[in-house]
Amino acid sequence: MGLELYLDLLSQPCRALYIFARSNNIPFEFKHVELFKDSVLGKRPAAGSGAEQPRAGPSNSEGTAKVSLLKKVPALKDGDFTLAECTAILLYLSRKYNTPDHWYPSDIQKRARVDEYLSWHHANIRANAPKTMWIKVLIPLFTGQPLPSEKLQEVMEGLSTSLKQFEERFLQDKAFIIGSEISLADLVAIVELMQPVGVGCDIFEDRPRLMEWRRRVEDAVGKELFFQAHEMILNIKELSNIQIDPQLKEQLAPVLMKMLK
Amino acid sequence: ELYLDLLSQPCRALYIFARSNNIPFEFKRVQLMKGQHKTEEFRKVNVLMKVPALRDGSFTLAESIAILLYLAQKFKTPDHWYPSDLQKRARVDEYLSWQHANIRAKGSKVFLMKVLLPVLTGQPLSAEKLEFVIEDLNAVLKQFEEKFLQDKPFIAGSEISLADLVALVELMQPVGSGYNLFEERPKLAEWRRRVEEAVGKELFQEAHEGIMNIKNLTADQFAPELLESFKQQLLRQV
């Protein structure tokens, strides 16, 4: 049994991993996890039985394990070794498969820049970008409630602030975050920013510098691969038409409403 | 130069790591309550206006994780801090990534709700809201014990690593705020003792002196012109 990657391409970190592995010709078995089916209804665990699984979804006092639909992906299984967390997996793969230096430079200062971005990302870009999908698509879909516009505005404002900092501190006038070459930092950033794009909040629209950067990142990984990875999220409106299992709706609705607060 | 306010968890991790490894540095105190992170001077070090920050010659760096890794590499600290073994290292990376939205986020919220908000608003805290926040922290503590620590002495195995240090300083925030989460968690309490011993009990306690006395915080310790904006900023976070 070779390397297995448990992924749902609706998830941003999964896309980063998918693109990275494919772009570097890392051989792996794609284990498709459908977040809204498998993990939510407590079925087949994402990374094999007995494996450690991240479960940091929205919590409620009793059913965290059952209703944890976030963060079960991505997951890696390499023989007996299992690993969660996109950053950890990206680093593991880059080391194990000796990917080109620019992805995670050996130069100590350039590397620090990548680490800096990867750390900052969590509480900033990743704090707000995902919420756009929740608010515009998932909450209306699962709860039948109309989309809460003030909440969306709040989220977009937060995202705007992060984007400003991203441009000012991380990207600046460089081609990529660390300079002239793409690194893990750019990849992790771009997949996150495609989430709002997919649900109709085009954050690149009036940000030409970001748009240029996005084009460079797409070229660096391969346009075709990039679009393939993003096919689902870019067609997310179709998700609105799918039939959601009523049991699923019942389980998720209170959790999602809590997220709104 | 390390720009630090020891009331901040990530600053403590850095301080302890650098001192424990005898890394020579100039301690530049940035008092958050006095708004010293918002000065033009500090902005030159970190345009994001956050602590901790590092300045090494003309090189500046933010984000405690990035700084810890930079120091570990530059000063060639003992391997166990960030093991060269691929899988052990991955375990450390895994924790360092997961903790942002979990231990760090939930632990900070307890501090915010139990200490900062009541002091800044002059209002007693809402018991119901506090209960939610404590529940959230409890949930991630459970994950920490079950997934990251398990039955091992430390997160990566038999030796302390950056992951344990980063974890423990975060947990001291709710402890200093009055929520003694170690009380009914013997396994965690054991782990805490091991971490303290590994870095040096005296150093650990020195770094935590401020936060352990945080209950004495009063509004007049804040820069008066910043009180209102701090309050608004915090209210948005809850």
Could you read off the pLDDT of A45-99 as tens digits, one per residue?
434 333 333 333 333 333 333 333 445 789 999 999 999 999 999 999 999 999 9
Most B CBs within 10 Å: which of A104, A106, A116, as the mutation test of the B interface? A116
Contact A135, A152 (CB under 8 A): yes
CATH at A200: 1.20.1050.10
Residue B215 reports pLDDT greater than 50: yes
pLDDT tens-digit readout, B168-214: 999 999 999 999 999 999 999 999 999 999 999 999 999 999 999 99
Helix (H) or strand (E) holding A4: strand A3-7
pLDDT tens-digit readout, A94-107: 999 999 999 999 99
Residue A231 falls within a domain, yes or no? yes
Residue A76 falls within a domain, yes or no? yes
Residue A51 falls within a domain, yes or no? no
**Same-domain check for residues A134 and A81:** no
Asked if B9 has any chain A CB less than 8 Å from its own CB, the reply is no
Helix (H) or strand (E) holding B31: none
Q: How many domains does chain A have?
A: 2
Q: Test B69 with A92 for CB contact under 8 angstroms.
A: no
Tell me the shortest Cα–Cα distance from A201 to chain B, in angstroms.
23
Residue A48 falls within a domain, yes or no? no
Tell me the shortest Cα–Cα distance from A243 to chain B, in angstroms.
31
The closest alpha carbon to A202, from A136, A110, A253, A140, belongs to A136
How far does Cα A26 stand from its chain's mean position? 20
**Same-domain check for residues B146 and B184:** yes
Tell me the shortest Cα–Cα distance from B155 to chain A, in angstroms.
13
How does the average pLDDT of chain A come out, rounded?
84
For A104, the token pair is 């995670």
Helix (H) or strand (E) holding B186: helix B186-199
**Same-domain check for residues B62 and B125:** no
Report the alpha-carbon distance of residue A47 to residue B147 in Å, rounded. 13
Boundary (domain end) residue, out of B12, B46, B79:
B79
**Same-domain check for residues B129 and B229:** yes
Residue A246 falls within a domain, yes or no? yes
pLDDT of the residue at A260? 63
The closest alpha carbon to A74, from A146, A147, A16, belongs to A16
Residues 6+ apart with CB under 8 A from A213: A171, A175, A176, A186
Q: Test A108 with B73 for CB contact under 8 angstroms.
A: yes
**Same-domain check for residues A185 and A235:** yes
Residue A83 falls within a domain, yes or no? yes
**Same-domain check for residues B85 and B193:** yes
Average pLDDT over residues B75-91: 98
Angle, in degrees to the nearest 10, between helices A184-198 and A108-123: 30
Average pLDDT over residues B30-59: 95
Report the alpha-carbon distance of residue A175 to residue A212 in Å, rounded. 9
The closest alpha carbon to B13, from B61, B83, B80, B68, belongs to B68
pLDDT tens-digit readout, A171-183: 999 999 999 999 9
**Same-domain check for residues B60 and B85:** no
Asked if A181 has any chain B CB less than 8 Å from its own CB, the reply is no
Type of residue found at B30: V
**Same-domain check for residues A175 and A253:** yes
pLDDT-based confidence at A146, cuts 50/70/90? Answer: confident
**Same-domain check for residues B16 and B42:** yes
Going through A26-176 in order, the beta strands assigned E by DSSP cover 29-32, 75-78, 81-84
**Same-domain check for residues B201 and B87:** yes
Residue A39 reports pLDDT greater than 70: no
Boundary (domain end) residue, out of B53, B79, B105:
B79
Average pLDDT over residues B12-26: 98
Instruction: Name the residue in chain B with its Cα closest to that of A74.
Output: B94
Residue A72 falls within a domain, yes or no? yes
pLDDT of the residue at A241? 65
Report the alpha-carbon distance of residue B4 to residue B14 in Å, rounded. 9
**Same-domain check for residues A19 and A143:** no
pLDDT of the residue at A224? 97
Average pLDDT over residues A212-226: 97
Print the domain residue range for A21: 3-43+60-101
CATH at B36: 3.40.30.10
Contact B90, A91 (CB under 8 A): yes
pLDDT of the residue at B33? 93
Q: How many domains does chain B have?
A: 2
CATH at A92: 3.40.30.10
Residue A247 reports pLDDT greater than 60: yes
pLDDT-based confidence at A40, cuts 50/70/90? Answer: very low
Q: Test A119 with B135 for CB contact under 8 angstroms.
A: no
Percent of the residues in chain B that have a pLDDT greater than 70, as a whole number: 100
Chain B residues with CB under 8 Å of A165 CB are 48
For A235, the token pair is 């067609």
Residue A108 falls within a domain, yes or no? yes
Chain B residues with CB under 8 Å of A84 CB are 94, 98
pLDDT of the residue at A261? 61
Angle, in degrees to the nearest 10, between helices B9-20 and B162-176: 130
Tell me the shortest Cα–Cα distance from A193 to chain B, in angstroms.
18
**Same-domain check for residues A175 and A211:** yes
How does the average pLDDT of chain B come out, rounded?
95
pLDDT of the residue at B125? 81
**Same-domain check for residues B69 and B89:** no
Chain B residues with CB under 8 Å of A81 CB are 87, 90
Residue A236 reports pLDDT greater than 70: yes
**Same-domain check for residues B96 and B128:** yes
**Same-domain check for residues A143 and A157:** yes
Percent of the residues in chain A that have a pLDDT greater than 90, as a whole number: 62
Give strand pairing partners of A78. Answer: A3, A81
pLDDT of the residue at A134? 84
pLDDT-based confidence at A37, cuts 50/70/90? Answer: low
Asked if B49 has any chain A CB less than 8 Å from its own CB, the reply is no
**Same-domain check for residues B75 and B109:** no
Q: Test B63 with A116 for CB contact under 8 angstroms.
A: yes
Q: Test B97 with A88 for CB contact under 8 angstroms.
A: yes
Residue A193 reports pLDDT greater than 50: yes
Average pLDDT over residues B49-58: 96
pLDDT of the residue at B235? 84
Asked if B134 has any chain A CB less than 8 Å from its own CB, the reply is no
Contact A138, A257 (CB under 8 A): no
Print the domain residue range for B18: 2-79
Q: Test B135 with A59 for CB contact under 8 angstroms.
A: yes
Asked if B58 has any chain A CB less than 8 Å from its own CB, the reply is no
Type of residue found at B96: L
Instruction: Name the residue in chain B with its Cα closest to that of A72.
Output: B98
**Same-domain check for residues A228 and A251:** yes
**Same-domain check for residues B231 and B180:** yes
Secondary structure (H, E, C), B93-159: HHHHHHHHHCHHHHHHHHHHHHHHHHHHHCCCCCHHHHHHHHHHHHHHHHHHHHHHHCCCCECCECC
Residue A41 reports pLDDT greater than 50: no
**Same-domain check for residues A192 and A83:** no
**Same-domain check for residues B172 and B96:** yes
- Return residues 179-238 of B near A (CB < 8 Å): none
Q: Test B48 with A169 for CB contact under 8 angstroms.
A: yes
Residue A165 reports pLDDT greater than 80: yes
**Same-domain check for residues A210 and A88:** no
**Same-domain check for residues A85 and A209:** no
Boundary (domain end) residue, out of B51, B79, B107:
B79
Chain B residues with CB under 8 Å of A52 CB are 147
Q: Which residue among A61, A95, A111 sits closest to B135, beta carbon to beta carbon?
A: A61
Q: Test A120 with B94 for CB contact under 8 angstroms.
A: no
Most A CBs within 10 Å: which of B89, B100, B126, B135, as the mutation test of the A interface? B100
**Same-domain check for residues A199 and A239:** yes
**Same-domain check for residues A209 and A243:** yes
Asked if A120 has any chain B CB less than 8 Å from its own CB, the reply is yes
Report the alpha-carbon distance of residue A211 to residue B30 in Å, rounded. 36
